[in-house]
C-alpha cells in the first residue's frame, strides 16, 4: 500500500499529514559535501488498533542514497538510520491512555541503528537511556492533539558514523502532550535539544540514548542525499505531520 496525504482538524486547525500504511517513502534533500553532522526530525502520531501490535512491527527513519530503491523495497541502494522494533517484541498498547510503547530506550521494544545495502542489513546493539519510557501517541484517528517529536542525529566518521536519538520521555500518569511545528523547528537548530515550557512535568524533558556506531561507505554504496521513512503495518497507521532536516556542522 502507498502513503497518502490526509487532512485532519486538530484543535480547530487543519493539518496535513503523510499517513503510512505498510508503505515507504523518500524525498531528495540537499546536503553539502562537507557536512559533519546532520539531523532528521519528525512530528508524528498514530492511529489506534486498540490492541498490542504483534508480529514484527517496525518503523524506520533515516537517510538514503537517492529516493529510489528505498528501505522497505525488496532491494535498497543505501540506507542508514534507526529502526523501532524487531521480529519478536510487541508494541504495547494503552499505557497511560491511547498510545503505543515501542519501549524506546528501556524495557520494551528495542531501537537499533541500522544500515541496509541491497538486501543485507546491519544492526547495532539496542539503544538504552535513563529515565522513563518513550511513548508514541495513538489518537490520530480521533483527531486528538497528541503529536510527538523524534530526532535522529548522524555524525560522519571514517568508517564509523555515529547515530544519536533524541526524544521526549514520559512518565505514566502525566497524560498526553502535543508538540507544535514551531517546537520541532526550534529543536532542529539546538546542538543539545532541550525544549522548555511544556506544562506537563517530565514531558518537557528531552533525553538521548547512548550513541551507536556503524560503518558507512558512501563512496562505494552511494552518497546520502535523501530522507527515507517506512512502516510495515496496516492495523495501525503512522502519521507524519512534519519532517525537517538540518545541517548542524
Q: What is the pLDDT along the chain (249 residues), one digit of tens a residue?
A: 678 999 999 989 999 999 999 999 999 999 999 999 999 999 999 999 888 888 888 999 999 999 999 999 999 999 999 998 877 777 888 766 677 765 443 345 678 999 999 999 999 988 765 444 567 888 899 998 888 888 999 999 999 999 998 876 554 445 557 888 998 999 999 988 875 544 444 444 556 667 899 999 999 999 999 999 999 999 999 999 999 999 999
What pLDDT does residue 204 have? 47
pLDDT score, position 183: 87
Cα 148 from Cα 109, distance rounded (Å): 18
pLDDT of 93: 82
> For position 130, what pLDDT does the model report?
46
> What local confidence, expressed as pLDDT, does residue 59 receive?
93
pLDDT at 87: 76
Report the pLDDT value the prediction gives residue 2, as an integer from 0 to 100: 78
pLDDT value for 76: 97
Q: Model's pTM, two decimal places?
A: 0.91
Which pLDDT score, from 0 to 100, does residue 128 have?
65
Give the total residue count for the chain: 249
Q: So where are the chain's domains?
A: 34-247
So what's the pLDDT on residue 166?
A: 85
Angle, CA of 92, 97 and 101, to the nearest 5°:
25
Amino acid at each position: 500500500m502507498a502513503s497518502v496525504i490526509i487532512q485532519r482538524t486538530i484543535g480547530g486547525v487543519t493539518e496535513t499529514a503523510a499517513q503510512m500504511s505498510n508503505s515507504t517513502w523518500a524525498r531528495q534533500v540537499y546536503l553539502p559535501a562537507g557536512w559533519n553532522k546532520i539531523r532528521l526530525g519528525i512530528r508524528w502520531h498514530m492511529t489506534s488498533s486498540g490492541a498490542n501490535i504483534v508480529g514484527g512491527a517496525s518503523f524506520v527513519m533515516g537517510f538514503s542514497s537517492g529516493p529510489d530503491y528505498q528501505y522497505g523495497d525488496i532491494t535498497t541502494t543505501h540506507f542508514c538510520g534507526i529502526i523501532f522494533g524487531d521480529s519478536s517484541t510487541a508494541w504495547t498498547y494503552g499505557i497511560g491512555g491511547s498510545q503505543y510503547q515501542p519501549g524506546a530506550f528501556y524495557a520494551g521494544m528495542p531501537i537499533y541503528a541500522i544500515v541496509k545495502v541491497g538486501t543485507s542489513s546491519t544492526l547495532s546493539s539496542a539503544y538504552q537511556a535513563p529515565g522513563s519510557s518513550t511513548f508514541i501517541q495513538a489518537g490520530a484517528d480521533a483527531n486528538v492533539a497528541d503529536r510527538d517529536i523524534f530526532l535522529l542525529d548522524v555524525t560522519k566518521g571514517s568508517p564509523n558514523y555515529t547515530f544519536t536519538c533524541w526524544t521526549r520521555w514520559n512518565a505514566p500518569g502525566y497524560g498526553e502532550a502535543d508538540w507544535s511545528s514551531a517546537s520541532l523547528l526550534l529543536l532542529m537548530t539546538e546542538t543539545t535539544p532541550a525544549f522548555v515550557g511544556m506544562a506537563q512535568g517530565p514531558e518537557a524533558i528531552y533525553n538521548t540514548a547512548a550513541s551507536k556506531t556503524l560503518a558507512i561507505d558512501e563512496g562505494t554504496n552511494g552518497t546520502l542525499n535523501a530522507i527515507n521513512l517506512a512502516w510495515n503495518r496496516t492495523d495501525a497507521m503512522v502519521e507524519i505531520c512534519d519532517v525537517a532536516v538540518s545541517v548542524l556542522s
